A = this chain, B = another copy of it.
Amino acid sequence: MQHRAEKVVLVMVGLPARGKSFLARKVCRYLRWLGHDARVFNVGTYRRERVGQHQPASFFDPGNSSGNQARQRVALEALEDALRWLRADGQVAIYDATNSTRERRRMLEELCQRDGIPVLFIESVCDDPAIIENNIRETKLMSPDYAGVGMDDALKDFRQRIAHYAKAYEPVEDARQSFVKVLDGGRQVVVNRVDGPLRARVVALLMNTRLTRRTLWLTRHGQSLYNQRGRLGGDSELSHQGEDYGRALATHFATPPEGFEVWTSTLKRSMQTGSFLGLPTTEWRVLDEIDAGACDGMTYEEVARRMPDVYAARKADKLRFRFPQGESYLDVIRRIEPLVLELERQTTPTLIIGHQAVLRTLYAYLIGDPVEHCPHLAFPLHTLIELSPNAYGCDEKRFPLTRAIEERHSMPPG
């Protein structure tokens, strides 16, 4: 799907430690993955560069006029940079700061309107002390603001900084403004006057975002008969080695975590691999491998020989290359978007048994790798990838489950 470029400024709103930067980065990653040019402008980073890190809590006191001026200056500088970038070739600027007063927000809106660029406010409201405390410990105390400061002192200072902001905080309430309000990490979401397909997607992501963290596992199906022969696509059965991998996977998950889910595609090699686990599985057609169209069933050598133009086009731009009557990597990304939203929404540990191209696109989203890298990500057969989310990204472990098997048999390249 192609849309006329919809430019927009997403303005984050909220007290410190309410997960604004988490949401800002998440939205940015999602939009970039969908092919939009998005960028976060973090006012804290500008402040540290211009005014220096290690500002005490009193710098953030609304009664401190020199502190106020300095903060206003860097806030404007960040916005001007964002607007300059949008006037050039940028598409979505995510303006990450507390923006905690009506006056500040009106000013931001006016400056954007001058350039004819609409604003969507994204407010994160949280009164759950456990979530706030966890946020502070996980992200704020790691910030350059507190480099070399003891944990207890940093914590005390940061709580004071929050208190200063809280004094002047005015929630987003203006019914004429376009806003999304996320309460307590998604327990409640309020969406007001949101327009445009790109913003509708941002809302869909925010609606589905959960704070709960869970582990995901990605793996390709076991080796198929087509893999053995180096053929593209098809719907062949598992080879003996592929079956061995299914068994190895079942052993690895012999004691599955609570609520464990298994997702497969609707292709035989994926469903057969999953069947070894002996658990209920969910089949997703959107997890099916990239459609090789007219090249389905061929080897790459045959494509090179019979369709030299197609082969050359694929080599030249593997991301945008679309198999004749088939799909490109970008097509696969658009196709799996609903699955990504469902992954964001559900919070149970899940094993996804997919295919090389489709997993590359999913993995790029999960770890935040640029979409251009997708077609080149290493995704060998018979390797289980474990992704455990941390504050802003994922920790990764790879288990080559059937190394012993592979050493016995000789494997063609994945």
- Hey, which bits of chain A sit against chain B, CB under 8 A? 1-4, 175, 187-193, 197, 200, 203-204, 207-208, 233-235, 280, 282-286, 291, 296, 324-325, 331, 334-335, 337-339, 342, 345-346
Stoichiometry, as copies per complex, reads 2
Q: Which residue of B lies closest to A263 (CB)?
A: B1
- Tell me whether A282 and B188 are in contact in the complex, defined as CB-CB below 8 angstroms, given that A235-B325, A325-B234, A346-B197 are known contacts: no
Do A190 and B189 touch (CB < 8 A)? yes
When the two chains form their complex, are residues A285 and B208 in contact, meaning their CB atoms are under 8 A apart?
Answer: no
- In the A-B complex, the 8 residue pairs with the smallest Cβ-Cβ separation, listed nearest first, are A188-B192, A189-B191, A1-B284, A190-B190, A235-B325, A2-B283, A285-B331, A200-B345
**Is B283 a contact of A1 with CB atoms below 8 Å?**
yes
Query: By the criterion CB–CB under 8 Å, are B197 and A187 in contact?
Result: no
Whether A188 contacts B191 by the Cβ 8 Å rule is: yes
A327 nearest CB neighbor, chain B only? B285
Output the least CB separation between A196 and chain B (Å): 9
Nearest Cβ on chain B to A251's Cβ, whole angstroms: 26
| 8 Å CB contact of A3 from B197, B282, B339 | B282
Closest to A345 in B: B200
What residues of chain B lie closer than 8 Å to A291, measured between beta carbons? 291
Q: CA of A342 to CA of B283 in the docked complex: distance in angstroms?
A: 25
**CB of A232 to closest CB in B, whole Å:** 12
Instruction: Note all chain B residues with C-beta closer than 8 A to A4.
Output: 280
27 CB contacts below 8 A, A to B, read A1-B284, A1-B286, A3-B282, A4-B280, A175-B187, A188-B190, A188-B191, A189-B190, A190-B190, A190-B191, A191-B191, A191-B207, A197-B342, A197-B345, A197-B346, A200-B208, A200-B342, A200-B345, A204-B204, A204-B207, A207-B207, A233-B325, A234-B325, A235-B324, A285-B335, A286-B334, A291-B291
Closest to A190 in B: B190
A235-B187 Cα distance, complex, nearest whole Å: 47
With contacts A2-B283, A286-B1 taken as known, whether A337 is within 8 angstroms of B334 at the C-beta atoms is no
**Would you give the shortest CB distance from A218 to chain B, in whole angstroms?**
18
Q: Closest CB-CB distance, A280 to chain B, in whole Å?
A: 8
